[in-house]
């Protein structure tokens, strides 16, 4: 029997795996496209929020997504190395001339907030005899990256001069929101107005960039991006593409019509009975009140489970099984009393919620964080398996 036929008849029992449903990502992209008339950029930074950058990017391209967004230039170069030839914007360059050179050479658009970065890009463009493509960033209130309003005119003027020299093209102007997911946040309207002011400066300098963008998933799904006079032609969506709510204020994924793409699974490594009075895991933070059947789940905080989660549970044989005591680096212990659990049984740590299993959004509540952090932190020790690719049944 060949190894591949073995694998297909007896699916390999994996310690743990993250199954990524690419058809869910496709459905979520449809949902986002229906919510806006602007071009939808799909954000695949941080290994596509833990879902795997190469496969998610390929799926997005097959669906006709013209723009992919990443934070780091290195991430953009990785996409190029994997064969992606479409438009990519990378917005978090640090002063490393060789990486910037490579991005310019590889036709990666770069987000620019400062004259020094503009200078580095112009140098790179001259050296390589190409025209570098940039998106100028205005800080409209997040106080993170972006040019302050007081520095904006200078940056725009320098860019207009470099464009006149044919060293760069200002392909876009952009900003990032403080509370895009909150439809009642007054700051969103203020940011939209600051963005319009910034655009006027750009137009007065004789520039007319195709792409104007400031909305994220939250602003698209909350309606903020259509109600606040956003003069945008593109939106940058990450989390919603992966089927997770941008914020509890908007409701959960089901209420938003999103489908969580990642299911985190493991297999029970051991099952045994402990007596009443027995403590479980480091520090004995949980003590059995009665005889308890416990299951060992071979996944822990090294794999991305949040150790700080309060009263989390997992799904085994159609039941929610509480995690007992501390989550350790590689494993955790769950209560399987009355479940008839066997070693090798499937454990769903989180999934889309169809069966009643916990979701990443619930894990986020248990850990006092956001769904973004739960999926993004699922570590490299957990293999990803893909289902639902376009054209695959």
Ligand X SMILES: *Cc1c(COP(=O)(O)O)cnc(C)c1O
**Which of 75/335 has CB closer to ligand X?**
75
| Burial bucket for residue 290 (CB in 10 Å: 0-12, 13-18, 19+) | exposed
Q: Find all residues with CB under 8 Å of 393, minimum gap 6, and list them.
A: none
Contact region with ligand X (CB under 6 A), list: 28-36, 231-239, 306-314, 381-389 = 231-239
The yes or no reply on residue 228 touching ligand X (CB under 6 A) is no
The yes or no reply on residue 216 touching ligand X (CB under 6 A) is yes
| Least distance CB 154 / ligand X (angstroms) | 22
Q: Cα separation of 42 and 126, whole Å?
A: 30
| Least distance CB 27 / ligand X (angstroms) | 16
The yes or no reply on residue 43 touching ligand X (CB under 6 A) is yes
The yes or no reply on residue 212 touching ligand X (CB under 6 A) is no
Alpha-carbon distance values, 21 to 64, 68, 263 (Å): 18, 19, 8
Q: Are strands 39-43 and 270-274 parallel, antiparallel or unpaired?
A: unpaired
Cβ atoms of residues 369 and 312 within 8 Å: no
Instruction: Please give the full DSSP string across 62-124, using - where no structure is assigned.
Output: HTT--EEEESSHHHHHHHHHTT--SEEEE----S-HHHHHHHHHTT-EEEE-SHHHHHHHHHH
Quick check: helix, strand or coil at residue 149?
A: helix
| Least distance CB 337 / ligand X (angstroms) | 39
**Which of 29/125 has CB closer to ligand X?**
29
Contact region with ligand X (CB under 6 A), list: 17-25, 194-202, 215-223, 280-288 = 215-223
Closest CA to 350 of 325, 331, 370, 375: 375
**Which of 321/375 has CB closer to ligand X?**
375
Which one from 49, 282, 301, 372 is the annotated catalytic residue?
282
How many residues form the binding site for ligand X (CB under 6 A)? 14
What residues from 82 to 101 belong to the interface with ligand X (CB under 6 A)? Answer: 91
| Least distance CB 373 / ligand X (angstroms) | 12
The yes or no reply on residue 217 touching ligand X (CB under 6 A) is yes
Which one from 45, 49, 242, 386 is the annotated catalytic residue?
45
| Least distance CB 11 / ligand X (angstroms) | 32
Q: Cα separation of 3 and 59, whole Å?
A: 28
Instruction: Please give the full DSSP string across 245-281, using - where no structure is assigned.
Output: -S-GGG--HHHHT----EEEEEE--EEEEE-TT-EES
**Which of 170/239 has CB closer to ligand X?**
239
Closest CA to 218 of 263, 173, 184: 184
Alpha-carbon distance values, 80 to 58, 172, 175, 242 (Å): 12, 21, 25, 22
The yes or no reply on residue 31 touching ligand X (CB under 6 A) is no
- Looking at residue 300, what DSSP letter applies? -
Cβ atoms of residues 345 and 17 within 8 Å: no
| Least distance CB 90 / ligand X (angstroms) | 10
Among 50, 52, 218, 295, binds ligand X (CB under 6 A): 218
**Which of 50/312 has CB closer to ligand X?**
50
Q: What would the x/- binding string for ligand X be over residues 232 to 271, using CB under 6 A?
A: ----xxxxx-----x-------------------------
Q: What would the x/- binding string for ligand X be over residues 159 to 198, using CB under 6 A?
A: -----------------x----------------------
**Which of 42/155 has CB closer to ligand X?**
42
Contact region with ligand X (CB under 6 A), list: 8-16, 94-102, 212-220, 376-384 = 212-220
Note if 45 is an active site residue: yes
Cβ atoms of residues 298 and 372 within 8 Å: no
The yes or no reply on residue 52 touching ligand X (CB under 6 A) is no
Point out which residues bind ligand X (CB under 6 A).
43, 45, 71, 91, 176, 216-218, 236-240, 246
**Active site (catalytic) residues:** 45, 282
């Amino acid at each position: 029997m060949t190894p591949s036929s073995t694998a297909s008849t007896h699916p390999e029992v994996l310690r743990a795996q993250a199954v990524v449903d690419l058809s869910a990502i496709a459905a979520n992209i449809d949902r986002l496209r229906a919510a806006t008339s602007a071009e939808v950029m799909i954000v695949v930074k941080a290994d596509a929020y833990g879902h795997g950058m190469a496969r998610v990017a390929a799926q997005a391209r097959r669906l006709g997504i013209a723009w992919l967004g990443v934070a780091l230039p290195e991430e953009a170069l990785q996409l190029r190395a994997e064969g992606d030839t479409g438009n990519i914007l990378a917005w978090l360059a640090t002063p490393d001339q060789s990486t910037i050179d490579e991005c310019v050479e590889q036709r990666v658009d770069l987000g620019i907030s400062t004259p020094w970065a503009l200078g580095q890009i112009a140098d790179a463009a001259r050296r390589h005899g190409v025209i570098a493509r940039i998106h100028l960033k205005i800080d409209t209130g997040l106080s993170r990256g972006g040019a302050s309003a007081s520095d904006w005119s200078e940056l725009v003027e320098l860019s207009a001069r470099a464009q006149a020299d044919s060293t760069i093209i200002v392909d876009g102007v952009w900003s990032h929101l403080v509370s895009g997911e909150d439809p009642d946040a007054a700051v969103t309207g203020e940011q939209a107005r600051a963005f319009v002011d910034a655009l006027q400066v750009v137009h007065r300098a004789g520039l007319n960039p195709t792409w104007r963008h400031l909305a994220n998933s939250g602003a698209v799904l909350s309606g903020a991006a259509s109600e606040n006079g956003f003069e945008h032609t593109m939106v940058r969506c990450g989390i919603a593409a992966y089927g997770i709510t941008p914020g509890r204020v908007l409701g959960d994924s089901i209420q938003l019509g999103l489908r969580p793409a990642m299911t985190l699974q493991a297999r029970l490594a051991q099952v045994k009975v402990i007596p009443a009075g027995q403590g479980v895991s480091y520090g004995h933070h949980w003590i059995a009140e009665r005889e308890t059947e416990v299951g060992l789940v071979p996944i822990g905080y090294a794999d991305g489970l949040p150790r700080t989660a309060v009263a989390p549970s997992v799904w085994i044989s159609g039941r929610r099984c509480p995690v007992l005591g501390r989550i350790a680096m590689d494993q955790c212990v769950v209560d399987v009393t009355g479940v008839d659990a066997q070693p090798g049984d499937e454990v769903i740590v989180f999934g889309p919620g169809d069966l009643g299993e916990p979701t990443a959004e619930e894990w986020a509540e248990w850990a006092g964080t956001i769904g973004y952090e739960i999926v993004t932190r699922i570590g490299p020790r957990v293999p990803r398996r893909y289902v639902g690719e376009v054209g695959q049944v």
